[in-house]
Amino acid sequence: MQSSPQPSEAMTAAPRSPGRLLTAAFVVLMLALAALFALLGTWQLERLGDKEALLAAVATRSSAAPVPFPPAQSWPQLDPAAEEYRPVRLAGRYRPEATVLVFTGLSDPQGSFGGPGYWVMTPFRLEEGGTVFVNRGFVPEDRAAEFADGQGAAAGPQVLEGIMRRSETVGSFTPAATSGSRREWLRNVERLAAQVDPGLAPVAPLFVDLPAGAANSLPQGGETVMTFSNRHLEYAVTWFGFALITPVMLVAWLWRQRRRGAAPGKDALAEIPRNN
């Protein structure tokens, strides 16, 4: 008669405990998270360097003396990011009948007017050719009709000084403009150009913000924002903190698991009767 397997043999033949596999998977996951957090912290430090370089460049660029606006023949090669916030001088004439109003909400105005309203974007035809959209400033929503056709734009040849701005990006949720309405949702040069006479082409890839005028006057210029959020160091410290805490939590968890696994053995030893 064949003998039954001994308990030790059965235990040897048993598959590896699922608990050990889960523990190993959890350890791998926690170590992967720690590495990911460290990478995110490093990435934020790199972004911090880029942001500080941008702030220095903008400060240097915006404090320079005005230069002539780039000629139309150079616009295809122009890098808007490298030109933004540069003070410029323009000579030409307004085309007030082609003014486009761009909806905005001015939450922190530099002048007397704020809240919901519009940017008054009026095309400015340069003497040497080409058109630049000029942001003459902000008007409150209840005063928009007064400026819808470019009222207040100076007639005849003009020399303007302002700050070059990059065209705003169209997002996935940006509403489409109503054709022919000359009302827009953002200061995107291509969309603005589509609202006006094609004879004004070519249109510059940047627009110009005008400085503030007389107190309480409209449109209200001088609303260019040149402050940038720079919390990358804070974010980097947070991610590196997570990278340090994660392995500490893992070690504490493993220690608890080990103690919990050893406890039954100690209890069993305590129950063995001892001979006096």
pLDDT digits (tens, 9 = 90+) for 170-183: 999 999 887 778 99
What does the pLDDT read at residue 267?
A: 47
What does the pLDDT read at residue 109?
A: 93
Q: At a CB cut-off of 8 Å and minimum separation 6, what does 128 contact?
A: 71, 72
Q: How confident is the model at residue 206 (pLDDT cuts 50, 70, 90)?
A: very high
Q: Phi, psi at residue 181, to the nearest 5°? A: -85, -20
Question: Would you say residue 12 has pLDDT above 60?
Answer: no
Nearest to 64 by CA among 96, 99, 89: 89
Question: Would you say residue 249 has pLDDT above 70?
Answer: yes
What is the mean pLDDT of the segment spanning 161-168? 96
Query: In one letter, which amino acid is 142?
Result: D
Least confident of 16-30, 48-62, 201-215: 16-30
| Model pLDDT for residues 85-98, shown as the tens digit of each residue | 999 999 999 999 99
| Model pLDDT for residues 211-241, shown as the tens digit of each residue | 999 999 999 999 998 877 889 999 999 999 9
Q: How far apart are CA 144 and CA 125, in angstroms?
A: 23
Question: Would you say residue 132 has pLDDT above 90?
Answer: yes
